[in-house]
Amino acid sequence: MGGVAGFSFKTSWLAVRNRTPGEVADALELHDREVLDWATGTDRAYQHGVYVAAPVPGWTLAHGRLHMPSGFDATEPPFPEWLRELSRHLGEVQFFANERVPDYHAWARARDGELSRAYCFNGERGEVPLFVGAPTADEIELGIGLRGMEPGWEHWSDDEWTAWYETTPSESDVMAMAGRWSIDPSAIDDTTVTAGGIYGLPPSISNTSRNGNLA
């Protein structure tokens, strides 16, 4: 029996253009693979591991709340090179993340080894730890992701802080960005996803840890 179909909030995912689930799973080096239906796979990936599926023509999504990526997140130094390396194998790769409680929201896009745009907001710490490239037309139109931690931010006035916070995103803004760049997963009609996908574990995770304590 499957779980609740689909995914959207409180998680992270990749959108990869014109690649098969197998190609994406290979690039992510997933092991202990299983073929699962859309509902079961996306539900399990909220708890552990990664589920890779092609729910709409032209896009393969790789979903994993804890393990996408594995061992770090978009606020940490390894992230940009991780996404660049994936894009060297897969072409165009997009990353999205949203977590309401720590107010962690991110999006990034790389193609053929070049990271053209990356933005991450950590509201819990009140900072933008990742800001690569110029804001895209979509960000400008939505009024989000426009400013990083600019030189002299330590001395900003209250008005400057207010103006900065007005450009920081919410979880719904992440969905809006995903919809503009590729696919908003919350808009997928789950009943149309009939092909199975690939569930597996990234290299840093052993299958024995599946039911253990997770960081």
How many structural domains is the chain composed of? Answer: 1
Is pLDDT above 50 for 215? no
Q: What pLDDT, on the 0 to 100 scale, is given for residue 4?
A: 59
Confidence of residue 148 (pLDDT cuts 50, 70, 90): confident
Q: Is residue 131 part of a domain?
A: yes
Is pLDDT above 70 for 211? no
Asked if the bond preceding 102 is cis, omega within 30° of 0, the reply is: no
The whole-angstrom separation of Cα 89 and Cα 111 is 9
Q: State mean pLDDT over 182-188.
A: 95
**What would the pLDDT profile of 80-95 be if each residue is shown by its tens digit?**
999 999 999 999 999 9
Give, in order, the Cα–Cα distances in Å from 48 to each of 66, 69, 107. 6, 12, 21
Tokens 């499957």, residue located: 2
Q: Is residue 207 part of a domain?
A: no
Structural domain containing residue 27: 11-202
Sign of CA dihedral 84, 87, 88, 91: negative
Q: What pLDDT, on the 0 to 100 scale, is given for residue 179?
A: 97
**What would the pLDDT profile of 98-119 be if each residue is shown by its tens digit?**
998 889 999 999 999 999 999 9
Residues 6+ apart with CB under 8 A from 214: 48, 66
Q: Is residue 62 part of a domain?
A: yes
The whole-angstrom separation of Cα 149 and Cα 130 is 9
- Rounded mean pLDDT of the chain? 91
User: For the purposes of burial, counting CB atoms within 10 Å of the CB of 201, is it exposed (0-12), middle (13-18) or buried (19 or more)?
Assistant: buried
Closest C-alpha among 132, 130, 127, 77 to residue 110: 132
**What would the pLDDT profile of 115-132 be if each residue is shown by its tens digit?**
999 999 998 888 999 999
Is pLDDT above 90 for 14? yes
Q: Is residue 147 part of a domain?
A: yes
pTM score:
0.92
Q: Is residue 6 part of a domain?
A: no
Is pLDDT above 60 for 46? yes
Q: State mean pLDDT over 198-205.
A: 93
Q: Is residue 42 part of a domain?
A: yes
Q: Is residue 1 part of a domain?
A: no
Which DSSP string corresponds to 101-162?
A: TTTEEEEEEEETTEEEEEEEEETTTTEEEEEESPPPHHHHHHT-S-----TTGGG--HHHHH
